[in-house]
A = this chain, B = another copy of it.
Amino acid sequence: MNILITGGAGFIGSHLCDALLKENHKIVVVDNLILGRIENLNHLIGLESFHFIEEDILHINKMREIFKAHSFDMVFHLAANSDIQKGGKDPEVDYNLTFNTTFSVLQCMKEFEVKRLFFASTSAIYGETSENLTEDFGPLQPVSNYGAGKLASEAFISAFSATYNIQTWITRFPNVVGERFTHGVIFDFINKLKANPQELIVLGNGEQNKPYLYVKDLIEGILFVCNNTHERFNVYNLGSYSRTKVKEIAQMVIEEMELNASIKYTGGDRGWIGDVPEFKYDLSKINELGWVAKINSNDSVRIAIQKALGK
């Protein structure tokens, strides 16, 4: 297929490029390189079946030119804000980068009659709840602008899929870690410990407990869903049942950095406003389809720490 990947220079997007090229597709990446990094794609530039375009998805007329020039069979829409905390401080961030990017892509898909869409969604659309999260869970009450931007995206994707007959695959990611990632709790801890190797200050009580998924598992899961489901509208949670507490991450970072730092918790049940302190996916739907993550949450975190330290 002739595939557009938005946000293809980002952490997850660049891994997806690698995987889709292995499946012998032709790839065009559109990325404005504000959050994405060209280094993530350096090994692909020059390949005949790979084309990189530096462009902002919100420039819809430029996007129209790209859609016109390439006759895409499918779009993998990954471009989004990736810093939830930042979006809490300025709602325009997720309004523009997480939601309006989606609307721009949808408009182009409608106009140029592209009939297949993959969308990278998130556990953040579910909001804060202690229940097991099935794909049909309700109510959906996101507590971050990032979660809101993704849910708003899903809303218009659902309507476009029904109204303009666009076959759609949505997978909802948990925290994803691994090679080429650029921020999040692991990076925060490494940076803090570089600044002060004696003591690590952890926001919250350390009990925040979430599943972390290794990026190569995630990519395999995305392709598994796209290749093995055939409804007009396909939605899957992606993750593993295992979870990792923030205090375990702190301990692993200290171990991997070979330090003797003490840990100090600021208290409270969450790191920052918009943080969801714990959630748990029900993964029966994807497990029954035949996919399970190969690497559990703790091992994913451990690998990610080692990669971040250049090990």
Residue from B128, B135, B152, B163 within 8 A of A143 (CB atoms): B163
Residue from B127, B135, B162 within 8 A of A158 (CB atoms): B127
Number of interface residues of A (CB under 8 A): 39
Residue A241, interface by CB 8 Å = no
A136 to B148, CA, bound (A): 17
A174 to B141, CA, bound (A): 21
Contacts of A235 in B (CB 8 A): 139
Contacts of A92 in B (CB 8 A): 107
Residue A40, interface by CB 8 Å = no
- A contact patch SS: helix
9 smallest A-B Cβ distances: which pairs? Answer: A138-B138, A152-B152, A148-B159, A151-B155, A143-B162, A148-B155, A141-B158, A148-B156, A152-B155
Contacts of A159 in B (CB 8 A): 91, 142-145, 147-148, 274
Contacts of A137 in B (CB 8 A): 138-139
CB distance from A42 to the nearest CB of B (A): 36
- Given A137-B138, A159-B274, 7 more contacts at CB 8 Å? A91-B107, A91-B156, A127-B158, A148-B158, A148-B159, A149-B156, A162-B273
Contacts of A274 in B (CB 8 A): 159, 162-163
A148 to B138, CA, bound (A): 16
Residue from B107, B148, B155 within 8 A of A142 (CB atoms): B155
Residue of B nearest to A126 (CB): B138
Give per-residue flags for A265-279: 1 if the beta carbon is below 8 A from chain B beta carbons, else 0: 000000001100000
A106 with B135: CB separation less than 8 A = no
Residue A192, interface by CB 8 Å = no
Q: How many copies does the complex hold?
A: 2
Contacts of A149 in B (CB 8 A): 155-156
CB distance from A58 to the nearest CB of B (A): 13
A156 to B92, CA, bound (A): 11
A152 with B156: CB separation less than 8 A = yes
Give per-residue flags for A155-179: 1 if the beta carbon is below 8 A from chain B beta carbons, else 0: 1101110110000000000000000
Residue A64, interface by CB 8 Å = no
Residue A281, interface by CB 8 Å = no
Residue of B nearest to A160 (CB): B91
Residue A37, interface by CB 8 Å = no
A288 to B39, CA, bound (A): 59
Contacts of A136 in B (CB 8 A): 138-139
- Contacts of A88-127 to chain B: CB distance below 8 A: 88, 91-92, 95, 99, 103, 106-107, 110, 125, 127
Residue A233, interface by CB 8 Å = yes
Residue A140, interface by CB 8 Å = yes
CB distance from A97 to the nearest CB of B (A): 14
